[in-house]
Amino acid sequence: METWEPGAAGVLRLPSGRLVRGRGLRDGLPGGALPEYGVYLLGKEPPRVEWDSRWVRWPDFRLPADDREARDALSEVLSRAASERVELACGGGRGRTGTALACLAVLDGIAPGDAVAYVRENYHPKAVETPWQKRYVRRFS
């Protein structure tokens, strides 16, 4: 098994060196290697994919419907990213995906107060779109 190519579109390097791809589902599947595992952050069930995946109910511009489920999914993402190509995705790839990536960075050792800036600098400058998403990250531990 391989992880993502460093520097590929949407790929975030976590402090541990693990690579996770974030993307917007509306943008379509990027070229190159396919994910081996995906977590899809959507208000309704995502379309089927040919790789192992998980759905976390997370309405657009909001927070996860079930915090425990979201935390469990992110812990699994962090674990699997050590040896697999893992992606996190929502509709546009910024708000929910950015929030989840920031929480993942917290799980990987970034201080909660620094995680949004880390993701904006290393993934997308407009990641984490709403004040409540920012607050969710600051309170995530």
Q: 3-class secondary structure for 20-57?
A: EEEEEHHHCCCCCCCCCEEEEEECCCCCCCCCEEEEEE
Q: What is the pLDDT of residue 141?
A: 81
Q: What is the pLDDT of residue 123?
A: 98
Q: What is the pLDDT of residue 108?
A: 98
Tell me if 3 is assigned to some domain: no
Tell me if 4 is assigned to some domain: no
Using the Cα atoms of residue 10, residue 129, residue 42 and residue 136 in order, give the sign of their dihedral.
positive
Q: DSSP for 100-129, please give it.
A: HHHHHHHHTT--GGGHHHHHHHHT-TT-S-
Report the CATH number that the domain containing residue 68 is assigned in CATH: 3.90.190.10
Tell me if 6 is assigned to some domain: no
Q: What is the pLDDT of residue 1?
A: 57
Q: What is the pLDDT of residue 15?
A: 96
Q: What is the pLDDT of residue 125?
A: 98
Tokens 């969710």, residue? 136
Element (H, E) at 138: helix 131-138
- What is the span of the domain harbouring residue 35? 11-138
Mean pLDDT, each 10-residue run in order, the chain (141 residues): 87 97 95 95 95 97 97 98 98 98 98 98 98 97 81
Tell me if 97 is assigned to some domain: yes
Q: What is the pLDDT of residue 91?
A: 97
